[in-house]
Structure 1
Amino acid sequence: MTGSISLNQWQVYVSKPLEFTELEDFNRNSSSLDNCQVESLGAFSNLFKNTKLDSYVSNHNDFDWWFICEFDKPAINFLSNGLIDFPPIATIAEVWLNERHILSSQSMFISNTIAECEFSETNRLVICIRGLSNYLNQKLPRPRWKTKLVKQQTLRWFRTSLLGHIPAWTPKQPIAGILGPITIGADYQVVNKSISATVKQSKGFIELAAEIFSRKKISSLQLLVNQQTFDLEFTQEKSTIRIDSSIELDDFEYWWPHTHGSPHCYSITLQIGQGSEIKEIDLGSIGFRQINVDQSSDKFEFVVNHKPVFVRGVCWTISSMDTWHQNESLMLSQLKAVQQSGANMIRVVGTGDYQSDFFYETCSRLGLLVWQDFMFANMDYPVNEPEFYAFIKREVEFQSARIAQFPCLALFCGNSEVEQQVRMLGFSADESSNEFFDQTLPTIINEIAGDTAYISSTPTGGAMPFHLNAGPSHYYGIGAYQRPLLEVRRHDVRFAAETLGFANVPHQSTLSELFGGDLPVVHDPRWKLGSPRDSGTGWDFDDIRDFYFKQLFGNDPNEIRYSSPEQYLALSTVTSGEVMSQVFDEWRREKSNNSGGLIWFYKDLIPGAGWGIIDSNNQKKATYYYLKRAWQPIHVSITDELFHGVNINLINETEQSFQGTLKLVALNEFNNPIIDHQMNIELSSNQSIAINADEALDQFFDITNVYRFGPKKIQVFCAILIQDGQELSRAFYYPDKIPLALGTPEITAELEQLTNDRLELSIQSSGFIYAADVQISGYEANDNYFSLLPNRVTKIQLHQVSDVSRIKGFLSAAGLSDNVRLKLSKK
């Protein structure tokens, strides 16, 4: 930002709610209040750690918080006035500058810019964040329906995140704070901007509308787009420069999700000329792409640049409950991990918060599509109340204009589960209709974000919004509703906007930290604190995981837990990952009606076995690795076709054609290969095919064990996709329960240092082993919880993530009696 400074050094005071309604009252009494000094701004949960006010944070909504910053007039070309940019403030706040009231904010979902602020030689900025409890306890008109999602139904009146207010699966830590730096600017500060990049008749167009605060006359205005310069049309009246220009590009590269191509982004810079002086303002980046949603014939299929894209990914709540979205290095590492998993979409859910520009910019550069919910969920929002309507209209206009610039944006969604909530409570279709979501929002989107796809709610479509065979659904048939895995195809899920919520066991280091080195057991209160549940139910998601534990391994999980807690933990760790990968294998096959699924959700909010595929310490769980194998753009899977044997499903989503080898292996109980067959494979770009194994082998083996002519012959069936001698993808099928091992395998492992921060582990086993887990202190494996075929070398790469004095670790698996120690080979 040209000509601006950020304010730091704040004195913070705490008072009783509404003890001081006027600034003068606070000024007279502030000396008696508890206070501390902070050097920056942010969420209370992180800001006040190790300060005198830390004890107030757990009940912060029961107090008013006063932030005071005294500063001299900045030496950045001020005359007597300037501009203040406020980040989102959670949630109800009042602001004074030099004893003059300049802002009342009642939403954490918008930023505020105050122009023409009058500054003195010395200045005093005061911000009071009111305790939200006092407002939530007001008597307000009753809703038409109540939701079990939150206890306080009055939350529907307030524009704040529901995270922290949801007792079943979020910590009791509602957001409060000034969520970013406050900047004071002078000339050449962008106040409002709307940027879009579109493709029409194979040409690229950039539409730019903006207002720039400046009291200086300018002579020229240009836009720099990847080293190309374009003159812009503008007008200047008093202190406002207005831009409304369209630029045409004949030569450009399309932006693609990373699974299907390169995410080409174009950096754009505003160049302001004043005489011989040129000022530059970074406007971020854009990308040229066409994204539509095909909803014909009950489908819900994303089409990018005229190509259907199978969508897979995660639901995003927040990067950190402590830092919210202010820790950009943490967010970057999290988003890179999403991309590396093979995911190509993130859904920003309506129970959370709109994300920062950094988030959307990073998603764009990483090639991750974004499904953007507006921040409404489950409740009966008072959209017909004029003041509330004005708040939310401004919010959606602000957020639509801000987010629409980024090429990652695939879809806007009006809300999460409002339609479902209404219909499940017995309301008619007409009663569930909402003018704001059905008419107002799409009109705003069309005006601001052009042809960006929009749906009113998720789930939606079909006879009932929660039916699975039309439109986007929230699918927990495999999961909370405990349906067998073989039913997935019958459920006919067209698109799962959230799905496969399981109590996913966290990384071993997180468990060790949580239990202080004690053996982790699921009945311990420390474990149960992190186990998600639905409000009002008599079960939690540990119970759901146990249901599939028995389906996969054939053992009663309670019996295993009683007799061998270590074995129970090892198998629980891999259960949900195995289930998730089998579901996605079914959805990705050639003839599937499904067009995608988004895991509920990405990161645990608190330590424990939460829904996340990474844990609260940002460590990757076993589920992450199972999904990483299932989500790759070049992929092989095996699906059970019952009396038709098994199909080998091959997928190539990349821009290039694929030529390679498919190897099929089947093992009996003695690790002997009953089948060892290979064939050449060719796949065009963006092609998927299914090969019936019986046809490929030209011999009947009863791989699925449904005919049962004699004892079961095959214990493990495997398909391996190879190109130029390198294994790209591997799939396993088990005709009955999953064997943890065949025979008593012996393992040899060799660990070599490739570079200062990279290792390579070579593993060979004398017999089949299910879900081998590699743990080396300070290092992270590129693949883990992988199964081993006998007498075949498997190579795993590891990269350093933290400093260690000595490289050592172990390999473990539920089918091994002892861990295998790992240490560097001596040369």
Structure 2
Amino acid sequence: MRMLLNDDWKITWEPLSREAADAFHVRNKSKDWLDANLPCDIHMPLIKYNIIAEPLHADNCFSSEWTEKRSWWFSKHFKINAEQIASERIEITFEALDAEADVWLNDTFLGHHRSAFYPFTREVKNLIHEGENRLLVRVTSGLERYSEQDISLTRESVVPLTGNVIGVRGDERRVMVRKPQYVYGWDWGPRIATCGIVGDVRLDFSQGLRFRNAHAVTLSVDTGGNGAAQVSLQIELENLHPFRTMETSLKVELLYGSQLAVSTEAEHYLRSGINYIKLRMEVPDAKLWWPNGMGDQPLYTVRASAQSSSQRVDLPSFQFGIRTLRLNMEKLTDGNANANANANASENDKEKEKENESAILCEDVERRFAFEINGVPIFCKGANWIPADSIYARLTNESYETLLQEAKEANFNMLRIWGGGIYERDIFYEKCDEYGILVWQDFMFACAKYPDHLAWFREEVEREIDYQTLRLRNHCSLALWCGNNEVQWAFDEGWNETDAVDFFGGAICYNDIAPRIVERNCPEIPYWNGSPYGGTRPNGSVSGDRHHWHDCTMNEQMEKRITPEEYDKITAKFVSEYGYIGPCRKSSIEAYHQGLPLDRTSKVWQLHNNTFEKDTVLAGIDKHYVPSENLNIDDYLLYAGLCQGLMYGYSLESMLSKPFCSGALFWMYNDCWGEVGWSIIDYYLTRKISYYFVKRAFEPVKLILRHQNGTVTLTAINETSSTITETIAYGQSRYDAVEEDKQPIQLFHAVIPPSYRGTILEWKANEYDPHQAFQYAKSVSDLPSFKPAVLRAASFRDLMIPSALLTLSNIQDKGDCLSFSVTSDVFAHAVHFGLDERIQFSDEYFDLLPGEQRTISMRKPKPSESFSTDCLIPKCINQ
């Protein structure tokens, strides 16, 4: 039996000097209490009662920083009846306390809790009574407990960002506090120090027998023959009696929908306390779970019940996808893969030369870093995920569903949960299971040394990792546990000049605690020590994963930041971070400006401008489109959005076209506030222009063109389980579609097998004027499998393209969406439709070949929104 205690709390604040000894004083405080329900970050009632303004708007974040310098007190009265009191065991659980917390029940101190990453749980049968009871909780943001002496070994590893506009983002003390690290500020987010009871609070009443946990693992799948799968289940049952054994019948069922797939029932003789019951089941004609784009995502339901002589208890049912998982890190058969792939990069920067030299000296060998699902290698397509709100407790399930549905729509098959945020709520992993999105799960350590020389810190980490691995292990979407974000890289390159250079703070967590607990709780899920990590240099390209920052977007040379062809030089086996900055849509910028003018020189604009932007956006516009000086806001947003889209689209295709590369996760997918920043979905859940470029790059069936040393290479991708047969036209064409100047059409008959990614055709590129012509490949069937692939050899601003005439036709109402076709007489760049930017299209800001017809669907506006097809006017940049 369970009782939730989420409603009707009171909250107040006191000076930090009000500590545990003052609980009686605060409890009897008669005024200045605010009403609140859980989950509750202290900012939420303060906003509701107009005590602070919304911190994510304008520059309001500064005016709420005082909350860090207070203690926050939560109070709750609740009633217990006689039946509940009669339970053999009563436990109270606070799912998440952010962060340093003291808890009292009926004036008895239950304990101190110092982590937001695992629950506070206590047995309270002897403290609770029939009738009214009272909880009192003191919570702080956590920093006040730690002195300069406490952080002496870790301080220099945390470099706060400072400036006249952004204030101070980051805090040297954050490493001491087991809570989301990003809340003290990052390059992409403000300083809004979270604090509160940010999860459910519940009472659990148990009698005699209870389920504690279950673990489901796919042992093997038969992709031929009878299609059976071998599944193991471990059930954890607790006999609550301190000294008696118990006779129990355990029934376990696996259901597909409402249909029973397999079941087993047996008698079990339970000892006092914990009992582990291991079962093995064969599932006939198993429905296999596949990543998005490779197949379906069928989910089975695991159901169990235990019957003793006096009671029956049921395991909370959970869903389980049948699939096998492997991280392939075998040696590459071609020892010269890097050299062959990087033939056009012989003049790469000094860092690359240093890396290659080190690899030779240390005899590093190239290894894959490739995930395999059901024995099939996959290319991991996706991005890094951060908490979707600076005040993460107020996120709704609807927001999670929207964000994950949009990731699925953009053809993602992986999200990396970054190590400076949170272990996400259950709904996140449930939706990833449902949508076929694999999860790379960092443990919550990022960009700093951590004090694992302290016994209490190691104990906190042990509890955290034990809890989270048990909580998440049954999700078929969970593909990797990763120790941290960018710590090993900094050990190697970032902290060599600090006072505590020989203190590898955090290494015990990543090298001992985490792998040991993962092996104990879920050995079927791979563990990786950090990101980036692998080889002699943790951020090398020889093996493991790489954060590809300094070669491009964070290069000292502006030209390298804004030139998409720089990504053709990548030799990494898996790119787990890199990015390019672009703005939100206008409606979102207006939302966080709150009526203030949209002035790119203003304090508010610069506050919501990523600290790494460094004029890169304007330089990109200058290179690819128009002079950026004196652009109006609408043109700035259009061209900046197109530049971000160009850089993401081209770079992702570059990585997809490399046979030795097995993943591309850009930084980042979503935002915690409105900003000119890395994401493709903004804080207001609106698609940026770049969203559509990423969606096209990640299509499961596509063609990619690249030009190197006079040869054009055509790569085909078919992630589906079916063979694709197509006749492909290829060669070069003029932007203006002048018939007499066209090259003769060349045709190629292609047979693309399932789960294929590789080169299918090469041809010599005859000399041509890149300002007038381009390389292309396209299907010529009536129902083409592939969209056309286009390769431009010059920036758009330098092309000789005449004005395009766009034609709309075949408008059809299909109930929840409209379908229509669009064509152009000449090459048309960035075709879009001029509607409300929150309206979602199947594709937008795409290129059209001369004479090509593209069919597009559009989500119909809500009935309350006025809309007419007369408003559907196709536009492009060359009009």
Match in the other structure for 1:193: 213
Q: Verify the 8 A CA contact 1:218 1:272 in the aligned structure 2.
A: no
Name the SS for the 2:445 alignment partner. coil
- Aligned-residue offset at 1:604: 1.9
Which of 823, 834, 842 is matched with 1:764 structurally? 823
Q: Distance in 2 between matches of 1:751 and 1:46?
A: 49
Match in the other structure for 1:685: 754
Matched, 1:749 2:815: no
Q: Verify the 8 A CA contact 2:211 2:314 in the aligned structure 1.
A: no
Match in the other structure for 1:59: 66
Q: Distance in 1 between matches of 2:395 and 2:770?
A: 57
Match in the other structure for 2:437: 368
Q: Distance in 1 between matches of 2:826 and 2:220?
A: 58
Q: Distance in 1 between matches of 2:219 and 2:459?
A: 33
Q: Distance in 1 between matches of 2:800 and 2:42?
A: 50
Q: Deviations over 1:360-412 (max 9, x none)?
A: 12211211111111001122211121111111111111111212221111111
Within 5 Å, which residues of 2 pair with 1:430-449?
A: 432=504, 434-449=507-522
Between the two proteins, what is the percent identity of the paired residues?
Answer: 19
Name the SS for the 1:601 alignment partner. coil
Match in the other structure for 1:820: none
Name the SS for the 2:538 alignment partner. coil
Match in the other structure for 1:545: 617
- Aligned-residue offset at 1:718: 3.1
Match in the other structure for 1:99: 107
Match in the other structure for 2:662: 595
Match in the other structure for 2:230: 204
Within 5 Å, which residues of 2 pair with 1:471-510?
A: 471-476=544-549, 477-481=551-555, 482=558, 483=560, 484-499=563-578, 501-510=579-588
Unpaired stretches in structure 2, ≥5 consecutive residues: 54-62, 161-168, 223-228, 332-365
Alignment coverage as a number of residue pairs: 790
Q: Deviations over 1:210-249 (max 9, x none)?
A: 24586898853322211233236655567x5644322322
Q: Deviations over 1:306-334 (max 9, x none)?
A: 22211111111113333447511210121
- Aligned-residue offset at 1:805: 3.4
Amino acid at match of 2:318: G
Q: Verify the 8 A CA contact 1:7 1:69 in the aligned structure 2.
A: no
Name the SS for the 1:22 alignment partner. helix
Cα root mean square deviation, aligned: 3.1
Within 5 Å, which residues of 2 pair with 1:666-685?
A: 666-673=732-739, 674-675=742-743, 676-685=745-754
Match in the other structure for 1:730: 788
Name the SS for the 1:223 alignment partner. strand
Matched, 1:154 2:173: yes
Name the SS for the 1:561 alignment partner. coil
Name the SS for the 1:436 alignment partner. helix
Match in the other structure for 2:426: 357
Matched, 1:618 2:626: no
Name the SS for the 2:787 alignment partner. strand
Q: Verify the 8 A CA contact 1:151 1:165 in the aligned structure 2.
A: yes
Q: Verify the 8 A CA contact 2:151 2:172 in the aligned structure 1.
A: no
Structure number with higher relative contact order (C-alpha < 8 Å, ≥ 6 residues apart) = 2
- Aligned-residue offset at 1:452: 1.9
Q: Verify the 8 A CA contact 1:73 1:122 in the aligned structure 2.
A: yes
Match in the other structure for 1:452: 525
Q: Distance in 2 between matches of 1:358 and 1:516?
A: 31
Change (3 A) 1:93 1:595: same
Amino acid at match of 1:204: Q
Change (3 A) 1:460 1:105: same
Name the SS for the 1:298 alignment partner. coil
Amino acid at match of 1:451: E
- Aligned-residue offset at 1:514: 4.2
Matched, 1:13 2:25: no
- Aligned-residue offset at 1:763: 2.0
Within 5 Å, which residues of 2 pair with 1:158-197?
A: 158-187=177-206, 192-197=212-217
Q: Deviations over 1:788-822 (max 9, x none)?
A: 233333221011364443214454656255xxxxx
Change (3 A) 1:246 1:684: same
Match in the other structure for 2:538: 465
Match in the other structure for 1:332: 401
Q: Deviations over 1:587-619 (max 9, x none)?
A: 112x53211111111112221211111011011
Q: Verify the 8 A CA contact 2:39 2:198 in the aligned structure 1.
A: yes
Q: Deviations over 1:701-749 (max 9, x none)?
A: 43xx4xxxxx558423333346651454232211222267821222233
Amino acid at match of 1:544: T
Q: TM-score, normalised by structure 1?
A: 0.88
Which of 558, 566, 570 is matched with 2:638 structurally? 570
Q: Verify the 8 A CA contact 1:607 1:616 in the aligned structure 2.
A: yes
Change (3 A) 1:152 1:359: same
Q: Deviations over 1:629-656 (max 9, x none)?
A: 0111111111122312x22211111111
- Aligned-residue offset at 1:185: 2.2
Q: Verify the 8 A CA contact 1:257 1:369 in the aligned structure 2.
A: yes
Which of 578, 603, 608 is matched with 1:525 structurally? 603
Name the SS for the 2:565 alignment partner. helix
Amino acid at match of 1:244: I
Unpaired stretches in structure 1, ≥5 consecutive residues: 534-539, 706-710, 818-827
Q: Which is worse superposed, 521-530 or 168-177? A: 521-530
Within 5 Å, which residues of 2 pair with 1:28-67?
A: 29-32=28-31, 34-51=32-49, 54=52, 58-67=65-74
Q: Verify the 8 A CA contact 2:735 2:826 in the aligned structure 1.
A: no
Match in the other structure for 1:825: none
Name the SS for the 1:795 alignment partner. strand
Match in the other structure for 2:844: 784
Q: Distance in 2 between matches of 1:336 and 1:716?
A: 35
Q: Verify the 8 A CA contact 2:218 2:231 in the aligned structure 1.
A: yes
Name the SS for the 1:93 alignment partner. strand
Q: Distance in 2 between matches of 1:724 and 1:204?
A: 44
Q: Distance in 1 between matches of 2:447 and 2:172?
A: 11
- Aligned-residue offset at 1:350: 0.6
Match in the other structure for 1:579: 647
Matched, 1:135 2:204: no
Match in the other structure for 2:348: none
Which of 315, 321, 325 is matched with 1:291 structurally? 325
Match in the other structure for 2:86: 79
- Aligned-residue offset at 1:441: 1.9
Change (3 A) 1:185 1:751: farther
Name the SS for the 2:676 alignment partner. coil
Q: Distance in 2 between matches of 1:551 and 1:98?
A: 68
Q: TM-score, normalised by structure 2?
A: 0.83
Name the SS for the 1:312 alignment partner. strand
Which of 698, 705, 715 is matched with 1:649 structurally? 715
Match in the other structure for 2:358: none
Amino acid at match of 2:96: P
Change (3 A) 1:60 1:389: same
- Aligned-residue offset at 1:421: 1.3
Q: Distance in 2 between matches of 1:141 and 1:506?
A: 38
- Aligned-residue offset at 1:430: 8.1
Q: Verify the 8 A CA contact 2:388 2:683 in the aligned structure 1.
A: no
Q: Verify the 8 A CA contact 1:638 1:649 in the aligned structure 2.
A: yes
Q: Distance in 2 between matches of 1:169 and 1:512?
A: 18
Matched, 1:254 2:288: yes
- Aligned-residue offset at 1:25: 3.1
Q: Distance in 2 between matches of 1:140 and 1:713?
A: 62
Within 5 Å, which residues of 2 pair with 1:414-425?
A: 414-425=483-494
Q: Distance in 1 between matches of 2:674 and 2:722?
A: 42
- Aligned-residue offset at 1:485: 3.3
Matched, 1:221 2:250: yes
Match in the other structure for 2:60: none
- Aligned-residue offset at 1:691: 3.9
Q: Which is worse superposed, 602-611 or 219-228? A: 219-228
Change (3 A) 1:728 1:158: same
